A and B are shown apart, each in its own frame.
Chain A
Amino acid sequence: MSRRLAGLALALYPLAFRRRYGEEMRALLDQTPPGALTVLDLLRGAVAAHLRPSPGLAGVVDVGDRLRASMSGVLACWVVFAAAGFGFYKTTEDHPFEVAAGAHTVLGGAHLGIQVLAILASVAVLVGAIPLSMLALHRARRQPSLRVLVSLPIVAVAVFAGLTGILILVAHSQHSQHSQHSSTAGGIAFIAWGLAGLACGAVCVLASRGALFAMPVTRGWLLVAFACGALATAVMAAIAIATAIYTIALSVDAVALAGEPNGPLQATSVSVSLIEQLIVMVIAGALAAVTTRRGWRAASELAAGAG
């Protein structure tokens, strides 16, 4: 178990660090059976390597791969951000929230802003991802290693869609039974569905990252995809700000609504849920900003090389 965790911790190091020291570190881990302290040491080392990148590693990864790492990093952040965004949507979808948004300008404006920005970010992610996905599908016919990577997200999404369909059918069939027991079971099923959605997102991110590094991509498509990722990062920041405004406005303008029970098990309040979602958004957005900044340097070098 610890060996697998150590391997996962190793995967959290920056790409340049893994390329330079990864094989040696794996050899060292093979010689000394890793325990919990070793895993913690690796996690601490991974954080330090991200925060203080060694100047000696600057030339280890070429410009194209630095852009690839930046784009897949933004995609991973977007998946986590979107999960928090979906939580926000579920929290505020009911009629009383619509009424409150109609009655209070700031609340209504922030809610509308979040919806428009969410569509914009989704479009940016799709515009960046579709050409690369088409390229991967095209190359998968000749490159067997790509076939698995291209198939994985399709299978993951199909399984998740099937699970969603089954849960909807079960929910409709039990719609008339309003007992405490069925409500708790529904909450647990919703949590399991959410975890399955995150697992599906993780498979999509990891497989698309693998495919992105396994195929040649022209400079133009790399820059287009990076620009879309940068736009998505900027929009994530704007959504986080709008969510903060909404959370504050709800606590001021609709105190009773903010204090109502919320969550799959009704174990928390609306305002606490919104704060939790905001924290996830801020962390995912900040990580996306860091990886976009690194990608920006690579994109500048790539563009300068083209000029």
Chain B
Amino acid sequence: MLTSLAEGPKHGYAITRDVEEISGVRLGPGTLYGALSRLEGRGLIEALPAEDRRRPYRLTGAGSAALSEQLQALQHVARSGLDRLRLAEVSR
């Protein structure tokens, strides 16, 4: 969800569609708003003024930093895994 919001502010429906596109996982409304509530409570995202009945959310500074840290950690894991697979291929 943080990755989805890295692109810019989005409301619930747009986040659901984007997350499905990125990860193939379709979030139910209970899961989506439970996560939004926790992320908002931790100060990682913030709500913008409501548009009609929908309210867009955007990343805060802390949210951008947390996402960057998580992605770098994932990148490290992915790179290490790929390097090891490559070494294993060469040694065969």
Contacts and interface: CB of A to CB of B under 8 A. Distances in A.
Given A24-B12, A54-B40, A45 B53 contact: no
B24 interface: no
Q: Is the interface of B mostly helix, strand, loop or mixed?
A: helix
A45 B31 CA distance: 6
Contact of B52 (A6, A27, A32): A27
B41 interface: yes
Contacts of B50: 23-24
Interface in B40-54: 40-42, 50, 52-54
B37 interface: yes
Q: Is the interface of A mostly helix, strand, loop or mixed?
A: helix
A26 to B, nearest CB: 7
A44 B52 CA distance: 27
B38 interface: yes
A29 B29 contact: yes
Given A24-B12, A26-B53, A28-B12, A54 B37 contact: yes
B87 to A, nearest CB: 43
A37 B30 CA distance: 11
Contacts of A28: 12-13, 16, 29, 32, 54
A49 B30 CA distance: 9
Interface residues of A, number: 30
Contacts of B38: 54
Contacts of B76: none
A265 interface: no
A138 interface: no
A38 B54 CA distance: 19
A46 B12 CA distance: 17
A44 B29 CA distance: 10
Nearest to B57: A24
B18 to A, nearest CB: 14
A20 B33 CA distance: 10
Interface in B18-69: 28-34, 36-38, 40-42, 50, 52-55
Contacts of B11: 24
Contacts of A48: 30, 34
What is the size category of the interface that chain B forms with chain A? 20 to 34
Contacts of B34: 45, 48-49
A57 B41 contact: yes
A54 B41 contact: yes
Contact of A25 (B29, B41, B42, B52): B29
A44 B53 CA distance: 24
A307 interface: no
B13 A41 contact: no
A305 interface: no
Contacts of B55: 24
A42 interface: yes
Nearest to B12: A28
6 contacts: A6-B29, A21-B37, A25-B33, A27-B52, A28-B29, A28-B32
Interface of B: 11-13, 16, 28-34, 36-38, 40-42, 50, 52-55
Given A24-B33, A26-B53, 15 more contacts: A6-B29, A17-B33, A20-B37, A21-B33, A25-B29, A25-B33, A27-B12, A28-B32, A34-B29, A37-B28, A45-B30, A46-B30, A48-B34, A49-B34, A54-B37
